[in-house]
Chain A
């Protein structure tokens, strides 16, 4: 087993290795060595929190103090700058000047402190870490409910990964997967029975409803059933975009469609329990896929821990 290279791991997560041979090497290490997999999970989760913290700092905009401005202008005037140039009121009313400034194409608009401009970021910011896990789970449910089911064409299941076409997705019935945040402890010996029990408790008859062609009824319109005890390590996956990417990687690998997820634990570690219906590997039965907190960080890496038929 090779020692974890944390700089290399950070580079991998940050995309610095994209397209290089090292990218494949690190991916392989994560997939085959538990130390690398755990380090990856920890670091990915930690970096998500750091990004959130940086976003808070980024929102604080402090204008140049006038004393500093005066000092710099004095230095420039000693070089030859015109005496009346450079002051905020030099070419017009300060308020009118600020109002006249618009966002520049290169992203620097020089707006004043009264405007709390969010930085021009190419990606969405994670919300503040003070959200309760329960609130975030509710947001995730609403997001999932509005997404078309990610279906993998059963006929292509053996071809190595072709998602349904846009038309097929558009024609697929919209349904709301059951979302639980039980925090329950699943084990290899009991997972199938536990999933079956959870589904019965939540009065979900997925296959019957899907066959009838109607929308699935979910008992989760007002929030997750079965308690809100999602492990803290799964906070990243409460974000709708992160959860979508995670479920997408699961469906890409196994086919079928996601009918339920539970934020829980598997053999002592935080895990997302995903239940798939109509997966080719489990004809007529649900397929249960257990994934870790880093599911979906890499588009090809669901951080899979265990698979079983329901």
Chain B
């Protein structure tokens, strides 16, 4: 599968860079890193919800990719392969810690333009960190990074239906966390989305 966006001075696509790296080109992997670092950082940061965890996970992932490049079979895009390694590294780290990650915003580098709705960004970002890791990873890839569900399924290594389910349940749980009101006209004995919280917690993810 041909992919890649050559930067100025290097016209090789991603697959060629990875092949050349595996063949001994000591600069090729650096070009891959340069091309995709921002996107990989975004995925790692949004999945872990913590800068340090994101940096640690990315380091683990990139070193794994660097060492395992000769095992890349070419049956997926290089970016899919890289994202899979990064997401797995993030999820492994989160599962090992089994601690609730925090969002560190104090050291955010200033962006050229302010976010369109700062309060919404902070609230939603915090709510995302409350989700089970599998739901969070699916939502990050599909809703935030814009991957088609099929592509996200390849990255996560699960069926398409599983990605849809994780996204749907993640959205439902976010609705609770973001305080979506129930229908004020509903009878008192009719459960609202609020009771979903208890049920899904009981089931565990």
Contacts and interface: CB of A to CB of B under 8 A. Distances in A.
Interface of A: 4-7, 9-11, 13-16, 34-35, 38-39, 41-43, 45-47, 49-51, 53-65, 68-69, 71-73, 75-76, 79-82, 84-88, 90-93, 96-97, 100-114, 116, 118-122, 128, 130, 233, 265, 268-270
A42 B4 contact: no
Interface in B152-180: 161-162, 164-165, 167-169, 171-172, 174-175, 178, 180
A106 B147 CA distance: 9
A81 B30 contact: yes
Given A15-B164, A50-B180, A7 B45 contact: no
Contacts of B7: 91-92, 97, 100-101
27 contacts: A5-B199, A10-B171, A11-B168, A13-B168, A14-B167, A14-B171, A15-B164, A35-B190, A39-B191, A42-B180, A50-B171, A50-B180, A53-B174, A53-B178, A56-B120, A56-B124, A63-B38, A72-B55, A75-B59, A76-B30, A81-B27, A85-B30, A100-B8, A106-B80, A113-B38, A113-B111, A113-B112
Given A43-B193, A116-B113, A128-B116, 6 more contacts: A6-B172, A49-B178, A55-B143, A63-B38, A81-B29, A86-B33
A269 B182 CA distance: 12
A76 B66 contact: yes
B98 interface: no
Contacts of B28: 85
A107 B191 CA distance: 40
B5 A46 contact: no
Q: 6 shortest A-B CB distances, which residue pairs?
A: A14-B168, A85-B30, A119-B146, A86-B30, A6-B196, A91-B9
Contact of B10 (A46, A65, A91, A105): A91
B71 to A, nearest CB: 16
A14 B166 CA distance: 9
Interface size class of B (residues with CB under 8 A): 35 or more
B42 A61 contact: yes
Contacts, number: 260
B193 A46 contact: yes
Contacts of B124: 53-54, 56-57
A208 B123 CA distance: 53
Contact of A10 (B41, B172, B191): B172
A97 B54 CA distance: 26
Interface string B23-54: 00011111101111111111001000001001
A39 B193 contact: yes
Given A58-B143, A72-B58, A86-B30, A79 B63 contact: yes
B175 A14 contact: no
A128 to B, nearest CB: 7
Contacts of A43: 172, 175, 193, 196
A10 to B, nearest CB: 4
